[in-house]
Chains A and B, each alone.
Chain A
Amino acid sequence: MNRKRSQGRFVFFCIAPAAILVTLFIFIPTINVFRMSLYRMGGITNKKEFVGLNNFKSLLADKNFLQAMQNSIAIIVLVTLCTIFFAILFAAILSRGKFKGKNFFRIIFYIPNILSIVVIAGIFGAIYNPSTGLLNTFLRAIGLDSLTHQWMGDQKIVLYSIIFALVWQAIGYYMVMYMASMAAIPQDLYEAASLDGATEIQMFFQVTLPLVWSNIRTTLTFYIISTINLSFLFVQIMSDGGPNGHSEVFLNYMYKQAYGAGVYGYGMAIGVVVFIFSFALAAIVNKITDREVLEF
């Protein structure tokens, strides 16, 4: 009996600090996001007034928000498609190909993933600078002056410049992940396929891809969540939504409203919408990619 009680005390003291901190800094702020979205608060008067779902109603009529939503969806879709294509391609090459420097490429490709977002923004600032940037001066040097652009200043291009930075940052991470699951595929499957006369490309589609499918499916959720978060940080540092809202994404709009303009209630309503949107999207993607799981 005594032993049981002392065990209970030990367990309590082990878990209590973690439980308190997570409650204080994760759960309470999360509940506050939802609660505050029902109030009109902040702004000039700094009064707190319950307004029900009014914040959400004004959101639907807010052109800036709708534009941010559109941009965010474009970013999520394009970043996911491009990253997945290159990550799988590189992973397949590096895990199947028998050539030197496999490790070298893996180490290099992973570098963007360890750098701070601020550093990456700085690097892309150097690349995109219209007069002295690496991209434009390179294009001029090889005689393609017509392709030079105001990469971050042109309303039509800025979104793609951001997308490129996001893809550049993400490829290595997912490639390493896919390489790990490809490494688990038994070698004799490839030997059997090769005896049947399959080419490398056929093997990729008939053996590799079906066997890593469940892993790819899991990463789809990662793509959605991490692209929403990273696009916010990139945009916040690189363009702050400009020019003219053409690179605005919804979390940055939330941050601007809540922290910048001090319209907390409205800002948190955006947060709630994004939160629900990301979960719904992840659930839908999960549902439509559901296949029979093949195992080896």
Chain B
Amino acid sequence: MKKQNPVTKIIFKVIVYAALIAMTISILVPVAWVFMASFKRNAEFIGQGTNPWALPEQLQYQNYITAFVDAEMGKFFLNSVIVTALALILLLVIALPAAYALSRFDFKGRKILNIAFMAGLFVNINYIVVPIFLMLSDTNKALGVDFFLDNRFILSLIYASSSLSFSIYLLSGYFKTLPKGFEEAAYIDGCGYLKTMVKIMIPMAKPSILTVILFQFLSFWNEYIIAFTIMDEHSTLAVGLKNLMAVERTATNYGIMYAGLVIVMLPVLILYICVQKQLTKGMTLGGLKG
């Protein structure tokens, strides 16, 4: 058995740590910097002799008030909460029965339906966002209303539809692993199909339901391109932030812009710190990315 040269071993270790620390810095420093910058006055960003690395002279929380009230980030925040919550509820109410029926019952056409839902996995929303927009605006024109565009319920419905394929795939994969005996016992006890599903089977699928909620919360909360395309007054936080960034950059109101950034990422970061273990574990279960 030959021993490794201790010097090369040390050099190896140093390189390894340097790479890890470089990556850590490249993530933590910009994120922390945005938090810091959100408390700065405007004069600390522009003009000669300003140092972007300097700490704020005072905690200018006024930036947050301006962002929330004048830049309407408060309104967009509320819209995002409504749309995300509604989309999650719609998704679960629609995906759970479908996944359950597809995985636990044998019926004609099951195979075709399974394939059809799987095919939905291959369609990315970026390709079809314009046809969806056209469909909604044509419906508006045909009916002489302006109900279908800039509607938070429609947006939630589209969000839910766009993740149905993935959620059904994940949930039915889990339902398949549950033993058959539960349902038979329930039927013998006189439970109907609906009661068996709601009272017995769905509660058992809790872990995979949690995974779906976590991932879809992130993707709905962060979603940008659909909301940007079909929403206007009732837009969500990500679009609000994009507009805020465009406006404040030309007006060089950097403090407010960074306050807006913090408003969007803080809820997600807090959630992440709480659930990071389930999240990274669930990822290998689902393993899909949009």
A residues contacting B by CB (< 8 A) are 6-8, 10-11, 13-15, 17-19, 21-22, 24-30, 32-33, 36, 86, 89-90, 93, 97, 105-112, 114-119, 121-127, 132-134, 137-138, 141, 168, 171, 173, 176-177, 180-181, 195, 197, 199-200, 218, 222, 225-226, 229, 232-233, 236-237, 251, 254-255, 258-259, 264, 267-268, 271, 274-275
Contacts and interface: CB of A to CB of B under 8 A. Distances in A.
Given A11-B107, A124-B30, A141-B53, 16 more contacts: A8-B107, A14-B100, A17-B94, A17-B98, A22-B161, A26-B120, A33-B127, A108-B28, A110-B280, A116-B221, A122-B34, A123-B261, A225-B124, A236-B225, A251-B126, A271-B127
Contacts of A8: 107
A206 B260 CA distance: 49
22 contacts: A7-B107, A18-B94, A21-B161, A22-B116, A22-B161, A22-B164, A30-B128, A32-B134, A106-B280, A109-B23, A110-B279, A110-B280, A116-B223, A117-B238, A123-B261, A132-B45, A176-B284, A197-B2, A229-B126, A232-B126, A233-B126, A258-B130
The 6 closest A-B pairs by CB, nearest first: A116-B222, A14-B97, A14-B101, A29-B128, A18-B98, A29-B131
Interface string B186-201: 0000000110010000
A126 B33 contact: yes
B52 interface: yes
Nearest to B37: A126
Contact of A11 (B105, B161, B289): B105
Contact of B23 (A30, A86, A251): A86
Interface string B278-290: 0110011001111
Main secondary structure of the interface of A (DSSP, over half): helix
Given A15-B97, A18-B117, A26-B128, A134 B283 contact: no
Interface string B140-156: 00000000000000000
Contacts of A274: 127
B229 interface: yes
Interface string B157-177: 110111011001000000000
B30 A134 contact: yes
A6, A108, A168 — which one has the most chain B CB atoms within 10 A of its CB? Answer: A108
A73 B23 CA distance: 26
Contact of A26 (B20, B31, B162, B193): B162
Nearest to A173: B289
B27 interface: yes
A61 B181 CA distance: 64
Contact of A10 (B132, B193, B225): B193
Contacts of A18: 94-95, 97-98, 117, 164, 168
Given A19-B113, A119-B241, A25 B162 contact: yes
Contacts of A168: 26-27
A14 B98 contact: yes
B130 A200 contact: no
B14 interface: no
Contact of B268 (A27, A109, A114, A222): A114
Interface in B1-42: 1-2, 4, 12, 16, 19-20, 23-24, 26-31, 33-34, 37
Contact of B276 (A14, A107, A141): A107
B206 interface: no
A117 B268 CA distance: 13
A17 B101 CA distance: 12
Given A30-B128, A197-B1, A229-B124, A237 B242 contact: yes
A173 B229 CA distance: 27
B53 A137 contact: yes
Given A118-B241, A229-B126, A123 B276 contact: no
B204 interface: no
Contacts of A17: 94, 97-98
A36 B128 CA distance: 12
A90 B264 contact: no
Nearest to A260: B130
Nearest to B108: A8
B102 interface: yes
Contacts of B97: 13-15, 17-18
A233 B224 contact: yes
A222 B283 CA distance: 13
Given A108-B27, A123-B34, A126-B34, A132 B20 contact: no
B27 A111 contact: yes
Contacts of A275: 127
A237 to B, nearest CB: 6
